[in-house]
Amino acid sequence: MIVAGVGLRHSVKADEIVALVEQALEHASLARDDLTKLATVEALSILPAFTEAARRLDVPVTPVAQDALSASAPHVRTKSARSIAAHGVGSVAEAAALAAAGPHPRLILERITSASATCALARPETGP
């Protein structure tokens, strides 16, 4: 199970999100079929560009509640001042990916960026 966490501006287009997620998967040497969820903070998960990107990627929209995002904050590697000011976490993409990956998540790709979005990948830890 691979979760793509996405941070986005309200002006982002679905094409940009899809391209960024595909780029993230490529960086992590993963296939598009490995992707199982597209996650972001609850307030952004209803934006048309985000829901359209999930539809195009053929994965469910996974809204992440603010408390779950905050709980993942100590485990993010990127520290963006803008993200901290807006959402209380260093990276919405990393925190959303970690929160949506389930128990014992592991970040497999730190946040990458495009003009209006960020993306990070996580999965549940397997094995000891």
Residue 83 has a pLDDT of 85
Instruction: Kindly state the percentage of the chain with pLDDT values over 90.
Output: 77
More confident site: 120 or 128 = 120
Q: pLDDT grade, residue 128 (50/70/90)? A: very low
Residue 47 lies in domain? 2-124
| CATH code where residue 118 lies | 3.30.420.180
Neighbouring CB atoms inside 10 A of 110's CB total 18
More confident site: 21 or 124 = 21
- State how many domains the chain has: 1
Predicted confidence (pLDDT) per residue in 104-119, tens digit? 999 999 999 999 999 9
- Residue 89 clears pLDDT 90, i.e. is over it: no
